[in-house]
Amino acid sequence: MNDIVVEARGVVKNFGALNVLKGIDLTIARGDVTCIIGPSGSGKSTFLRCINQLETLDGGYILVEGEPIGVKVKNGRVHLQSNAEVARSRANIGMVFQSFNLFPHMTVLENICEAPLRVKKESRSIVKNRALKLLDRVGLSSKAGSYPASLSGGQQQRVAIARALAMEPRLMLFDEPTSALDPELVGEVLDVMRGLAEGGMTMIVVTHEMGFAREVGDHLIFMDDGYVVEHGNPRTVLESPQHHRTQQFLAKVL
């Protein structure tokens, strides 16, 4: 069981009367890159947000590294997790948003150091060292003292990736990380993600970049209307989609 990072079974999520996730099953092994594609509104973001509890489940369960998300089992009974426990499990999962969400009142370095200092309470020198190494890795060593507003979208997103990595997560979630970027800036972010994948990071990536899914992805999932419609090897799914709705979607985007 140790090499399974995410195990989702029958995940259901409703927003009021709106049934957004209708029973998602998914298993993700350590080191795998799983890309999720699908039309807008199909529930991709919602599923990602369920994994780190930005949304609560209405049905089914998710295990991350064998630990149930949102609940705990004690003496044969299921209890809700406390806020502290929720925060602790989130600390092991990195998330990168479409809109970057860097903290505008902090410099790049402060953005990266904030969570390790406040959440993990690590020592300042260790955190700063790691942050500078991460900045080097995303190619932004010269921007440590800059404020987010002075960076391009691509640079901001690379900082956001470094910020998530500073917590040394065991799983990284990406929600359309390049969708808000000008086309010429998409490449620099995808390059960082490719490097991360080669380094063995377990990643779930919601994306419209079919080239990235084909080259970097180990699995491709097509979601539509709250269901996983098709799941397989990226090349196979992209080149010979089995399901009618996958064919329709790919015909539109490719």
Partner 1 sequence: MSSINTPTDELTQDDAVDRSLLLERPRQLHIARWITAGIVLFLVFVVAHSLITNPRFEWDVVFGWFASERLFTGLLRTLQLTIISMVVGIVIGVALALARLSKNIVVAAVASFFIWLFRGVPVFVQLLFWGFIAAIYPRIIIGVPFGPEFFSVDANTLITPFLAAILGLGLNEGAYMSEIVRAGLISVHRGQTEAANALGMRNLTVLRRIVLPQAMKIIIPPTGNQTISMLKTTSLVSVLAFPELLYSAQLVYSANFKTIPLLIAASLWYLLMTSILSIGQYFIERHYNRGSGRPVPKWDRERVINAFRIRNRTQETSK
Ligand X SMILES: Nc1ncnc2c1ncn2[C@@H]1O[C@H](COP(=O)(O)OP(=O)(O)O)[C@@H](O)[C@H]1O
- Interface residues with ligand X (CB under 6 A) are 15, 18, 20, 38, 40-46
104 Cβ contact list (under 8 Å, min separation 6)? 147, 148, 149
Q: Using CB under 8 A, pick the residue from 5, 8, 62, 115 that binds partner 1.
A: 115
Rounded to the nearest whole angstrom, what is the least distance from the CB of residue 218 to ligand X in the complex? 21
Tell me the closest approach of the beta carbon of residue 43 to Mg ion, in angstroms. 9
User: Which of 163/219 has CB closer to partner 1?
Assistant: 163
Helices H, strands E: what count in the chain?
9, 12
What is the DSSP pairing of strand 33-37 with strand 203-206?
A: parallel
Query: What's the number of CA atoms in the CB half-sphere (13 Å) around residue 174?
Result: 35
Terminal-residue alpha carbon distance, the chain: 37
Question: Which residues partner with 7 through β-bridges?
Answer: 27, 63
Residues between 31 and 90 that touch partner 1 (CB under 8 A): 52, 54, 83-84, 87-88, 90
The least CB distance from residue 51 to partner 1, in Å, is 10
Dihedral class, residue 107 (left if φ above 0, else alpha if ψ from -120 to 50, else beta): beta
**Complete DSSP assignment for 121-139:** ---HHHHHHHHHHHHHHTT
In the numeric block, which tokens belong to residue 251? 């015909």
Is 114 among the residues that bind partner 1 (CB under 8 A)?
yes
| Binding map of partner 1 across residues 192-231, x = CB under 8 A, - = no contact | ----------------------------------------
Could you tell me the smallest distance in angstroms from the CB atom of residue 94 to partner 1?
Answer: 8
Closest distance to partner 1 from the beta carbon of 253 (Å): 26
Q: Tell me the two tokens of residue 190.
A: 């995808």
Q: Which is nearer to ligand X, 20 or 95 (CB)?
A: 20
Please tell me the distance from the alpha carbon of residue 184 to that of residue 220, in angstroms, as a whole number: 25
| Pairing relationship of beta strands 77-80 and 67-68 according to DSSP bridges | unpaired
| Nearer Cβ to partner 1 (96/220) | 96
C-alpha 132: how far from its chain's center?
Answer: 23
For residues 142 to 181, the per-residue mask of contacts with partner 1, x marking binding by CB under 8 A and - elsewhere, is -----x-x----------x--xx--x--------------
Where does this chain bind Mg ion (CB under 5 A)?
Answer: 45
Point out which residues bind partner 1 (CB under 8 A).
Answer: 52, 54, 83-84, 87-88, 90-95, 97, 99, 101-105, 114-115, 118-120, 147, 149, 160, 163-164, 167
